[in-house]
């Protein structure tokens, strides 16, 4: 941010790479339609950047991570309010490239993580994590941050990025930010705005189910999952895509419900697909 409190906005890759940089740069990659959870990631980034460091935010609706027929075209792109949120969060640099420049029409190189990506979201959304890893690797190369912040709301994405950074030796610290929720517990998401009022009301079952399962007396993974399933099934508009209890590092299913496990859920409310997760301690 300059002295007048303006965010430096850059569009082209050449311009992004030509920017003078502070001692430490912390990146928050997003797809825009920014909400208070993104604001919290920016706050975490600010703290991690330190007094002489800078916060960079990227906004890029990445076509490569949307499966055919999904919501790529209708994904919200509110440029002005996104800029405003970045400004009020004290962001220094906003990188908002075009899909045309990011992806050459004859592109033939991708980044693919093949173990953690094969379950859960990866199973439901083939190609999704290949798209995520490819764009995040490109953003890392373009902006060369010292650290990057990702939300635990996308638990599997965080695990996949951490694996990619380890496996490909990116010299970048990955910082995990906790899930930010609305007052009624629904995890903030740009996709929440697709919900009509009845779907929005019933969307609270995701977190209710996760909490019920995490606090349940039941001990076995199957019983704990059944507790969550019952809560979601009570909402007529909710349709479970997956509900799985896995090891927090391998993302493989577990024989025992604890320790170091996480319960992840994906639910359709009408056409909108929402995800959430909870650690079992």
Q: Does 83 bind ligand AMP (CB under 6 A)?
A: no
Q: Does 31 bind ligand AMP (CB under 6 A)?
A: yes
- Segment interacting with ligand AMP, rule: CB under 6 A, options 87-95, 98-106, 137-145, 175-183: 175-183
Q: Does 30 bind ligand AMP (CB under 6 A)?
A: yes
- Segment interacting with ligand AMP, rule: CB under 6 A, options 5-13, 104-112, 188-196, 239-247: 188-196
Which residues contact residue 197 at a Cβ distance below 8 angstroms, ignoring those fewer than 6 apart? none
Alpha-carbon dihedral angle through residues 211, 215, 216, 219, given to the nearest 10 degrees: 110
Q: Is 247 a catalytic residue?
A: no
- Among candidate residues 38, 52, 128, 247, the one labeled active-site is 38
Q: Does 188 bind ligand AMP (CB under 6 A)?
A: yes
Residue pair 257/191 in contact by the 8 Å Cβ criterion: no
Residue 212 sits at the vertex; the CA angle it makes with 150 and 270, to the nearest 5 degrees, is 65
Q: Does 278 bind ligand AMP (CB under 6 A)?
A: no
- Segment interacting with ligand AMP, rule: CB under 6 A, options 71-79, 91-99, 146-154, 220-228: 146-154
- Segment interacting with ligand AMP, rule: CB under 6 A, options 71-79, 133-141, 149-157, 222-230: 149-157
Shortest approach of ligand AMP to residue 261 CB, angstroms? 20
Question: Which of residues 32 and 221 has its CB atom nearest to ligand AMP in the complex?
Answer: 32
Q: Which residues pair with 58 in a beta bridge?
A: 29, 95
Q: Does 133 bind ligand AMP (CB under 6 A)?
A: no
Residue pair 223/207 in contact by the 8 Å Cβ criterion: no
Residue pair 224/213 in contact by the 8 Å Cβ criterion: yes
Question: Which of residues 30 and 119 has its CB atom nearest to ligand AMP in the complex?
Answer: 30
Question: Which of residues 10 and 135 has its CB atom nearest to ligand AMP in the complex?
Answer: 135
- Segment interacting with ligand AMP, rule: CB under 6 A, options 87-95, 134-142, 177-185, 233-241: 177-185
Which residues contact residue 206 at a Cβ distance below 8 angstroms, ignoring those fewer than 6 apart? 186, 187, 232, 238, 265, 267, 274, 275, 276
Judged by CB under 6 A, the chain residues 40 through 69 that form the site for ligand AMP are 41
Q: Does 195 bind ligand AMP (CB under 6 A)?
A: no
Q: Does 180 bind ligand AMP (CB under 6 A)?
A: yes
Q: Does 153 bind ligand AMP (CB under 6 A)?
A: yes
At residue 267, φ and ψ (nearest 5 deg) are: -135, 135
Q: Does 150 bind ligand AMP (CB under 6 A)?
A: yes
Known catalytic residues are 38
Contact positions vs ligand AMP (CB under 6 A): 30-31, 37-38, 41, 150-151, 153-154, 177, 179-180, 187-190
């Amino acid at each position: 941010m300059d002295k007048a409190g303006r965010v430096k906005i850059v569009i082209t890759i050449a311009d992004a790479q030509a920017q003078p940089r502070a001692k430490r740069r912390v990146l928050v990659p997003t797809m825009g339609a920014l909400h208070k959870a993104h604001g919290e990631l920016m706050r975490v980034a600010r703290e991690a950047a330190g007094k002489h460091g800078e916060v960079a935010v990227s906004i890029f609706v990445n076509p490569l991570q949307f499966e055919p027929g999904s919501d790529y075209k209708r994904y919200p792109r509110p440029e002005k309010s996104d800029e405003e949120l970045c400004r009020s969060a004290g962001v220094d640099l906003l990188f908002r490239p075009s899909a045309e420049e990011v992806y050459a029409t004859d592109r033939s190189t991708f980044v693919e993580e093949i173990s953690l990506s094969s379950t859960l979201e990866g199973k439901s959304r083939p190609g999704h994590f290949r798209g995520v890893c490819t764009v995040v690797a490109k953003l890392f190369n373009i902006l060369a941050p010292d650290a990057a912040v990702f939300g635990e709301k996308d638990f599997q994405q965080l695990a996949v990025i951490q694996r990619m950074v380890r496996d490909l030796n990116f010299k970048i610290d990955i910082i995990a930010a906790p899930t930010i929720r609305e007052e009624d517990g629904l995890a903030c998401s740009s996709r929440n705005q697709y919900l009509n009022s009845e779907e929005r009301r019933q969307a609270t079952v995701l977190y209710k189910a996760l909490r019920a399962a995490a606090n349940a007396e039941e001990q076995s993974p199957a019983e704990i999952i059944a507790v969550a399933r019952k809560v979601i099934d009570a909402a007529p508009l909710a349709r479970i895509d997956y509900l799985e209890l896995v090891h927090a590092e391998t993302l493989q299913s577990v024989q025992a419900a604890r320790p170091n496990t996480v319960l992840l859920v994906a639910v359709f409310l009408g056409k909108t697909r929402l995800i959430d997760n909870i650690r079992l301690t």
